[in-house]
Each structure stands twice: as structure tokens, then as C-alpha cells.
């Protein structure tokens, strides 16, 4: 049944940014509504150990997100299982339509829809995700101490991930589909000088190879794009670093975006190009992309929204 719900603050997204915004907005007595989307709990629900969330030496990603939801609800946020299919930011109150048929109107909106790593789209990549295939060296690099890894990509992310992995791995092979990197020159210099790094130019990965029991990666099969010759690179970990896609579809024609689709915010704040609309987390952040930074931005967004509402209500 279709209904209309009004809230002072509508939070879209249930990752660390969204739930943290909900905790702060609730404690500011704003009675926020948080719409979870199709991935309740966000990206951390698809990983296992998280070892860099302050206060927990090790916590399972899904457990952490269950706790964050409980925290937001205990503070008074209403958490709704729905997915926003359209959002109108052209006039206030802002209007959002959910897949459930519910229409949400809001005096302020906090966007926390996150970003998703781009994947190669190989069936073998899908099979070994979480079992040797990763899109986050900061998150998973630690598990490859003294082992060999492969990174795919030629941009800043791939080079940074490869350099970061040299802190743990005995060897890092960067595979790139062309004969030059698009990463910044300073990063390239560091990469070329690192004795643990080998670069396989002009190659694309065709298949991730691995064992069934226990499920795990043993190498990748790569093809030379010029000659067609195939080669197997042995490795224990395969890191995909071919870019991220921010989930900015809802607002792509309504807000200023930059860096390939990330929502642009005024530096040092979460204010977007539309007053009353705030953005937090991976949706705005092409550099750090961490749970703790997303949570920090969620806090900022709630405080920014609270101040903005105080100046625009009544
Ligand atoms: P996300 O967590 O991306 O959440 C986005 C939310 O928006 C989701 O709930 C989704 O359902 C919702 N949403 C999207 N579109 C809509 C819509 N239209 N309507 C309603 N809701 C919508 N970081 C670390 O700090 N440590 C780690 O160990 C770590 N490990 C990781 C492991 C993996 C496999 C991955 C993929 C990431 C990892 N990260 C890690 C990164 C971390 O998960 C992200 O930085 C963080 O989750 C971003 O939080 P967020 O709140 O911005 O968005
Ligand atoms: P990116 O710049 O878009 O680079 C993606 C890389 O992956 C490219 O080299 C591309 O190859 C390759 N690639 C894409 N699809 C592929 C596929 N299917 N198979 C094989 N290779 C594929 O992405 P990014 O490196 O994540 O960077 C995104 C943005 O964030 C950029 O603006 C970047 O500058 C910024 N960033 C900045 C920093 C920093 O300032 N320190 C750090 C990270 C990211 P081609 O080169 O052939 O296209």
C-alpha cells in the first residue's frame, strides 16, 4: 500500500556513513528515517575480518554492521527496509520514492549510498571472491605476509594497492592491459623502484586459477593482447584495482559530481551543491574509502544537517 512519510532528515544508505549519521541525527532529536537499500549494512557485509575498526582488534564485517544498526535504532532512528528508486532535489521538502511504494518527504537529506568496486566480470573471479580475490588491499593485504600476489589495473588505485602490498607480500606482480600506466608519475617512479614489484605489460587476465578444497587462489592465467600468448602467474592473492563506481545514479543530474561520478562536497564539510542535501562516505570519497572515514563523514553530515535545519526551520 502506498503511503507518504515525512521526516526532518532522510538518510539514504545503511553502511557506516548512514548508520553513524543516524546515531548523531537521533541524538540531535531529529527523528531521522534511514532507508537501507538492497545491501543492508553496506560493503562490510561482504567481508569477513575487519582489523582496523578502532576498539575491535578483529570484528566480522556483518557483525559490526548489525551492531551499528542496533545502535542507530537504540538512539531513536527509524530504519526502513526499502530502496530509493528516485529522488527529487529540485524543491523542498525533498521527495524520494521507494520500491515499496512509499513516498518519503524530507526537510534535509543525507546521501550515504557508498561505492562499489568494479570487477572484471570473470566467473572464476566471482568464485574466489573472499577466498583470495579481493578489491581492497588495505583490508586484506595483511593476510598475504610472505606470499605472492597479483594486482590488476594501471591507475592510481592499482599502483597504490601494489605498493601497499609490498609491505606484506614477498612478490607483487602488476598486470596491465597496456604498455603504460595512467597513474601519477610520482607513484609510477615508486613502483618501478620497488624490488618486490614485477610488471606484466600488455596482458589481460582471462581466468583466476585455484583449488577447490580448501577454496583458494593459486594463480592467474593471463593473455598477451599483442601476441595472444598465454602465461600463468602463480599467486595466493588476486587484487582487482580497476576503479570504483560511486552509487550516485540517484543524483547524477541534480548535484555536482567530480572524479568520475563522486558527489562533490564543499571542502571540510558534507555540503553538496544543493543546500539541505549532504553527502558522506564512499559516495564522496575517491581517496580513503574506509569504514572509519565513512563513519566520520556520517557524523559530519548529521551535524551539518542539524545546523542547516536550525537556520532554515520555523
Ligand atoms: P557502503 O558501505 O557502500 O553502503 C552503501 C549503502 O547504501 C548500502 O547500505 C546500500 O544498500 C545503500 N544504497 C545504495 N543505493 C541505495 C538506494 N538507491 N536506496 C537506498 N539505499 C541505497 N574498510 C575498512 O575500513 N576496513 C576493512 O577491513 C574493509 N574491508 C572491506 C572489504 C570489502 C570486501 C569491501 C568491498 C570493502 C571493505 N572496506 C573496508 C571498505 C568499507 O567497506 C567502505 O569504505 C565502507 O563500507 C563505506 O561505507 P559507506 O557507508 O560510505 O557505504
Ligand atoms: P582509473 O583511474 O579509472 O584506472 C582504472 C585502471 O584500470 C586503468 O588503468 C584501466 O586501464 C584499468 N582497467 C579498467 N577496466 C579494466 C578491465 N576490465 N580490465 C583490465 N584493466 C582495466 O581508476 P582508479 O585508479 O581507481 O582511480 C579513480 C580516480 O581516483 C582517479 O581520478 C584517480 O586519480 C583517483 N585516485 C587518486 C588517488 C590519489 O590521489 N592518491 C588514489 C587513488 C585513486 P586503462 O589505463 O587501459 O584504461
CATH code: domain of residue 210 = 3.50.50.60
Per the prediction, the chain carries an average pLDDT of 96
- Strand partners of residue 231: 222
User: pLDDT tens digits for 203-254?
Assistant: 999 999 999 999 999 999 999 999 999 999 999 999 999 988 999 999 999 9
125, 153, 161: residue to mutate for ligand 2 pocket, most atoms within 8 A of CB: 153
The closest-lying atom of ligand 1 relative to the alpha carbon of residue 15 is: 51
**pLDDT score for 1:** 58
| Domain edge (last residue) among 196, 223, 240 | 240
CA distance 101 to 188: 50
35, 63, 128, 291: residue to mutate for ligand 1 pocket, most atoms within 8 A of CB: 291
Judgement on whether residues 209 and 252 belong to the same structural domain of the protein: no
Sign of CA dihedral 302, 307, 313, 314: positive
| Domain edge (last residue) among 240, 257, 289 | 240
Judgement on whether residues 76 and 103 belong to the same structural domain of the protein: yes
Judgement on whether residues 170 and 83 belong to the same structural domain of the protein: no
Active site residues per annotation: 136, 139-140
User: pLDDT tens digits for 94-122?
Assistant: 999 999 999 999 999 999 999 988 999 99
Within the chain, residue ranges assigned H as helices are 16-27, 61-74, 123-128, 137-140, 156-165, 185-193, 291-312
Position 295 pLDDT exceeds 80: yes
The closest-lying atom of ligand 1 relative to the alpha carbon of residue 41 is: 9
The closest-lying atom of ligand 1 relative to the alpha carbon of residue 39 is: 11
The domain tally of the chain equals: 2
Cα(206) to centroid(ligand 1), Å: 28
The three cell numbers of residue 205 are 587476465
Q: Which residue lies with its CA nearest to atom 18 of ligand 1?
A: 84
**pLDDT score for 314:** 58
Phi-psi sector, 268: left (phi>0), alpha (psi -120 to 50), beta:
left
Strand ranges, E, within 28-131: 33-35, 49-50, 59-60, 78-80, 84-88, 94-98, 103-111, 115-117
The domain in which residue 146 lies consists of 123-240
Position 307 pLDDT exceeds 80: yes
Judgement on whether residues 222 and 274 belong to the same structural domain of the protein: no
Question: What does pTM read for this prediction?
Answer: 0.82
Judgement on whether residues 97 and 27 belong to the same structural domain of the protein: yes
| Domain edge (last residue) among 200, 219, 240 | 240
Judgement on whether residues 152 and 293 belong to the same structural domain of the protein: no
Cα(299) to centroid(ligand 1), Å: 16
Position 279 pLDDT exceeds 70: yes
Cα(42) to centroid(ligand 1), Å: 4
Judgement on whether residues 234 and 252 belong to the same structural domain of the protein: no
Judgement on whether residues 129 and 235 belong to the same structural domain of the protein: yes
Amino acid at each position: 500500500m502506498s503511503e507518504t512519510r515525512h521526516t526532518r532528515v532522510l538518510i539514504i544508505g545503511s553502511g557506516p556513513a548512514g548508520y553513524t549519521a543516524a546515531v548523531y541525527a537521533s541524538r540531535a532529536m531529529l527523528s531521522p528515517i534511514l532507508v537501507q537499500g538492497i545491501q543492508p549494512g553496506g560493503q562490510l557485509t561482504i567481508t569477513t575480518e575487519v582489523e582496523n575498526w578502532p576498539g575491535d582488534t578483529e570484528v566480522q564485517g556483518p557483525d559490526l554492521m548489525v551492531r551499528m544498526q542496533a545502535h542507530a535504532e537504540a538512539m531513536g532512528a527509524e530504519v526502513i527496509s526499502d530502496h530509493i528508486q528516485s529522488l527529487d532535489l529540485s524543491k523542498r521538502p525533498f521527495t524520494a520514492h521507494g520500491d515499496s511504494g512509499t513516498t518519503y518527504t524530507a526537510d534535509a537529506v543525507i546521501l550515504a549510498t557508498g561505492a562499489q568496486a568494479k570487477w572484471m566480470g570473470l566467473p572464476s573471479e566471482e568464485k574466489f571472491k573472499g577466498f583470495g580475490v579481493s578489491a581492497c588491499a588495505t583490508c586484506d593485504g595483511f593476510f598475504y605476509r610472505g606470499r605472492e600476489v597479483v594486482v590488476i589495473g594501471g591507475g592510481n588505485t592499482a599502483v597504490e594497492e601494489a605498493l601497499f602490498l609490498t609491505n606484506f607480500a614477498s612478490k607483487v606482480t602488476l598486470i596491465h592491459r597496456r604498455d603504460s600506466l595512467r597513474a601519477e608519475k610520482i607513484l609510477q617512479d615508486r613502483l618501478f623502484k620497488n624490488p618486490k614489484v614485477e610488471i606484466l605489460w600488455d596482458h589481460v587476465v582471462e581466468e583466476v586459477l585455484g583449488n577447490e578444497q580448501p577454496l583458494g587462489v593459486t594463480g592467474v592465467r593471463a593473455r598477451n593482447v599483442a601476441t595472444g600468448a598465454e602465461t600463468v602467474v602463480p599467486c595466493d592473492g588476486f587484487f582487482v584495482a580497476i576503479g570504483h563506481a560511486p552509487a550516485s545514479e540517484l543524483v547524477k543530474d541534480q548535484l555536482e559530481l567530480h572524479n568520475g561520478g563522486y558527489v562533490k562536497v564543499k571542502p571540510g564539510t558534507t555540503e553538496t551543491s544543493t543546500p539541505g542535501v549532504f553527502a558522506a562516505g564512499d559516495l564522496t570519497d575517491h581517496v580513503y574509502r574506509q569504514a572509519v572515514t565513512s563513519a566520520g563523514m556520517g557524523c559530519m553530515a548529521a551535524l551539518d544537517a542539524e545546523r542547516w535545519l536550525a537556520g532554515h526551520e520555523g
